[in-house]
Structure 1
Amino acid sequence: MIKLVKLKSQDDFVLNAELIETIEETPDTVVTLTNGKKLIVEESMDEIVRKVMEYRRALFRGMR
């Protein structure tokens, strides 16, 4: 799970990183989920990728 902020509303939410299908900057950052839902967030594409990588590293650390 990763924490993101909705664009303009400043509301935090937690997203299951496994549901992310694509991330685009158009110039706003649009996260498309596997179910087709689109979320517009404050974070850049690079920030989201970094958060997903940290999340997955933490998962694998727990498996050792």
Structure 2
Amino acid sequence: MTTSAPRRRHLASSPFQADPEPVILQFEVDEMVSHDSYGMGRVVSVEAQAVTVDFRPQLIRIASPFARLAKL
């Protein structure tokens, strides 16, 4: 059984900034993207937690949160 660590409480009077919420990108089919390792490619399939990208000559399935993938 695994449990995630509880989120730290942020007081409004605190001089420190709260951790920002992570932004998860949304991709669409036929959208051009760039990956740090594979280069430029085109999204061919979108799933709930992953996208499949055609980087010619290979298809790569990339899971969310898409850390190394950027829209062009």
TM-score with structure 2 length normalisation?
0.32
User: Whose RCO is larger (CA < 8 A, sep 6+)?
Assistant: 1
Greater per-residue helix proportion: 1
| Larger Rg, first or second structure (1 or 2) | 2
TM-score with structure 1 length normalisation?
0.34
